[in-house]
Amino acid sequence: MRVCYLGTYDTEQSRNAIVIQGLRANGVEVVECHVPLWRNTEEKIRALRGGWRSPRFLWRIARSYLQLLRRYTRVGDYDAMVVGYAGHFDLFLARLLSLLSGKPLIFDILVSLTETAVEDRGLVQRGSPMARLLRLVDRWSCRLADRVLLDTEAHCRYFQQEFGLSPAKLHPVPVGADGVYKRRPCPQHGGNPFRILYFGQYIPLHGVEHIVRAAGLLGDRRDIRFELVGKGQTYEGARALARKLGLRNMAFYPTWLPAEELIHRFILPTDV
């Protein structure tokens, strides 16, 4: 079987790497037809807050899709097309290409733009024109796809109820973990201090402020240390709260590390 994995998807997102690894591990030939569009999460946030109106940004979108079309002409025959996460806007071009090829179209949507930008992160005001646009993109990107992949049964039910989708179209594919996070022998800990680790992109859903407040409740315990790796939307707020609470048992590392470095420097030596 040959799959065309198409879109402007984020190659740094583990979801795409895991799905591609899983397909290849099961004997599927995956041909990536990819053109980068977004440089980082901060750029997506700026676009949602009005940056999409910039002529330079609009030109970059047009150029990216023209490049994607040129690369698609070199893909050759395939059995199915998969649009990678987060390809909500890619789906409209992908539907046209899949119709012309007569091949099924699978969309790994994973999350809703509305739920993420409006309900969770609060980047877009409820009821605003942008919120209505995101909802339309959520609904129609799913309706145009032949199959839609999510992460859990509960998430499938949410999409069914929220966007009026048939349950037969929705399929849960658990998130899993990149192959680099394989089982490894862990060093014996039991040292001082007891280390607690968070690493992530500081999205509101992660509730990093609760980790900071928990560290505050344990502020008199010098044998416990919290380490927070990464940066994102709630990072500055978490730092400000830690300063307000006068925490000495918490360290911030505002960077995104390669997986192997993250594993050896933080994950293996940590206790929780």
The secondary structure of the chain as a DSSP string is: -EEEEEES--TTSHHHHHHHHHHHHTT-EEEEEE----S-HHHHHHHHTTGGG-HHHHHHHHHHHHHHHHHHTTT---SEEEEPSS-TTHHHHHHHHHHHHT--EEEE--S-HIIIIIIIS--S-TTSHHHHHHHHHHHHHHHHSSEEEES-HHHHHHHHHHH---GGGEEE------TTS---PPPP---SSEEEEEES---GGG-HHHHHHHHHHTTT-TTEEEEEE---TTHHHHHHHHHHTT-SSEEEE-S---HHHHIIIIITT---
Q: What is the pLDDT of residues 213-252, one digit of tens each?
A: 999 999 999 899 999 999 988 999 999 999 999 999 999 9
The whole-number pLDDT of residue 39 equals 65
φ/ψ of residue 131, rounded to 5: -65, -40
Residue 26 pLDDT exceeds 80 = yes
Residue 40 pLDDT exceeds 70 = no
The whole-number pLDDT of residue 175 equals 87
The whole-number pLDDT of residue 191 equals 67
Mean pLDDT value of segment 79-91: 95
The whole-number pLDDT of residue 60 equals 86
The whole-number pLDDT of residue 57 equals 81
The whole-number pLDDT of residue 189 equals 63
Instruction: Provide CB contacts within 8 A for 227, sequence distance 6+.
Output: 195, 196, 197, 198, 250, 251, 253, 266, 270
The whole-number pLDDT of residue 13 equals 79
Q: Chain-wide mean pLDDT for the chain?
A: 91
What whole-number percentage of the chain has pLDDT above 90?
Answer: 72
The dihedral of CA 127, 128, 134, 140: what is its sign? positive
Mean pLDDT value of segment 15-29: 94
Which pair of tokens denotes residue 197? 């680790």
User: What whole-number distance in Å separates Cα of residue 165 and Cα of residue 139?
Assistant: 8
User: What whole-number distance in Å separates Cα of residue 74 and Cα of residue 67?
Assistant: 11
The whole-number pLDDT of residue 131 equals 92
List the beta bridge partners of residue 20.
none
The whole-number pLDDT of residue 256 equals 85
State the virtual CA torsion across 163, 167, 170, 175 in degrees, nearest 10. Answer: 100
Mean pLDDT value of segment 16-25: 93
The whole-number pLDDT of residue 177 equals 80
CATH 3.40.50.2000 maps onto the chain at 2-172, 194-267
What whole-number percentage of the chain has pLDDT above 70?
Answer: 95
Helices 90-101 and 129-144 pack at an angle, to 10 degrees, of: 20
Q: What is the pLDDT of residues 117-145, one digit of tens each?
A: 998 888 899 999 999 999 999 999 999 99
User: What whole-number distance in Å separates Cα of residue 18 and Cα of residue 21?
Assistant: 5
Mean pLDDT value of segment 257-270: 90
The whole-number pLDDT of residue 65 equals 96
What is the band of 90 on the pLDDT scale with cuts at 50, 70, 90?
Answer: very high
Residue 181 pLDDT exceeds 90 = no
List the beta bridge partners of residue 225.
195
φ/ψ of residue 26, rounded to 5: -100, 20
Topology at the third CATH level for domain 2-172: Rossmann fold (3.40.50)
Place of tokens 């560290």: 215
Topology at the third CATH level for domain 194-267: Rossmann fold (3.40.50)
Residue 190 pLDDT exceeds 70 = no
User: What whole-number distance in Å separates Cα of residue 104 and Cα of residue 51?
Assistant: 34
